[in-house]
Amino acid sequence: MDDYKTLARTISLVENEAEGFEKVLQQLQPKPIPIIGFTGPPGAGKSTLLNAVVEVLLAGGKKIGLILVDPSSPFNFGALLGDRLRLTAHFTHPNLFIRSIATRGSLGGLSDKIIEISEVMASYPFDYIFIETVGVGQSEVEIAGLADITVVILVPESGDSVQAMKAGLMEIADVFVINKADRADADIVANSLSHQLRMNGKTDIPILKTVAVESKGIKELLNAIANIHQSNRNPERKQMLMAEKALRIIAKHKMKEINRDELQRELKEEMQKDNFNLYSFVKRFI
């Protein structure tokens, strides 16, 4: 637990950009720990499924790090769901570390410090690191730029939306899970999803069914995750992930030169003018 206290302090140092945080980041030596993203629409049961997965892994003696991304207010950047009681049965388990972080107004639905936090955690001896997104905006697709394995969670009621599912979501999924599969239409959704994947030429993506509240299908999901991690079926994925992380870090560094409050004040003045044009306004900052 002392290690976890040090880890928590290090994450806070990095998240708040306290003095010396850049030196800490430059000294990190991340281990090849699988980082697994859980994403999907609200109500899909992501938290319940993650809870069931954690329970099985802890019973097997695995050491797990969790990053729970909470939506936050665009006004004060605090986590709106920071006090929610998820995974309560495992809070005090010595092999589990949980970090809940706010999106802090990030448009994509992930915290703007998610890369750094995941790298800090990957420098500790975990067997697995899981990231659960808020499932809003672009976070379903954005998680692919961070996770080694992306699990997209749907429910039987997703039937119609599978046909209209955005191409990005189809592209980033390494595993599809139909949770709450004891409900009607689970097979219909599975067949529809399978058809859609075949049309996209992605016949190697597992489609699994789970009932998270009853811990059904959890071992099959963990087997699928292990197989993907061990197979390294897409050797270029690691380089693509690293390039995506590098681009996001560079973009954040460039954005530091822009003061949000000052931008808002200038924008307020400019919007009063009849000939206001957003693109002309933005050009001065580029």
Residues 89/123, Cβ–Cβ less than 8 Å: no
Residue 278 lies in a domain: yes
If you search the block for the tokens 């080694």, which residue do you land on? 148
Q: Quick check: is 5 in a domain?
A: no
pLDDT in the model for residue 124? 93
Spell out the alpha helix ranges (H) of 60-122. Answer: 114-121
Mean pLDDT for the stretch of residues 75-95: 58
Is 65 in the same domain as 196? yes
More confident residue, 19 or 249: 19
In a domain, 9, yes or no: no
Question: Residue 10: inside a domain, yes or no?
Answer: no
Q: Which of 38, 40, 36, 37 is nearest to 155 (CA)?
A: 40
Angstrom distance (rounded) from CA 87 to CA 274: 53
Please give the pLDDT value at position 140. 52
Residue 187 and residue 282 in one domain: no
| Torsions phi, psi for 241 (to 5 deg) | -60, -45
Mean predicted confidence (pLDDT) in 105-117 = 64
User: Average pLDDT for residues 220-234, to the nearest whole number?
Assistant: 86
pLDDT over 70 (residue 115)? yes
Confidence of residue 105 (pLDDT cuts 50, 70, 90): very low
Confidence at 110, pLDDT banded by 50, 70, 90: low
Q: Please indicate, yes or no, if residue 82 is contained in any of the structural domains.
A: yes
- Tell me the per-residue pLDDT of 26-35, one tens digit each, with 9 for 90 and over: 998 888 899 9
Question: What is the pLDDT at residue 163?
Answer: 56
Domain that holds residue 282: 259-286
pLDDT digits (tens, 9 = 90+) for 252-282: 777 877 888 889 999 999 999 988 998 899 8
Question: Residues 112, 182: one domain?
Answer: yes
Residues 251 and 263 in one domain: no
Number of domains in the chain: 2
Asked if residue 108 and residue 82 are part of one domain, the reply reads yes
* Domain co-membership, 232 together with 282: no
Residue 88 has pLDDT above 90, yes or no: no
- pLDDT tens per residue across span 163-215: 556 555 677 789 999 999 999 889 988 998 898 888 888 888 999 999 999 99
In order of 49, 97, 116, 186, the CA distances from 13 in angstroms are 31, 17, 11, 45
- Residue 21 belongs to some domain of the structure: no
Claim to verify: residue 91 and residue 212 sit in the same structural domain: yes
Same domain, yes or no: 265 and 127? no
Asked whether residue 128 falls in the same domain as residue 242, the answer is yes
Looking at the fold, whether 131 and 40 belong to one and the same domain comes out as yes
**Domain contains 114:** yes
Query: Is residue 217 in some structural domain?
Result: yes
Mean pLDDT calculated for residue range 106-116 = 63
If asked whether residues 279 and 236 sit together in one domain, one would say: no
Helix, strand, coil % over all residues of the chain, rounded to 5: 45, 15, 40
- The average confidence (pLDDT) of the chain is 81
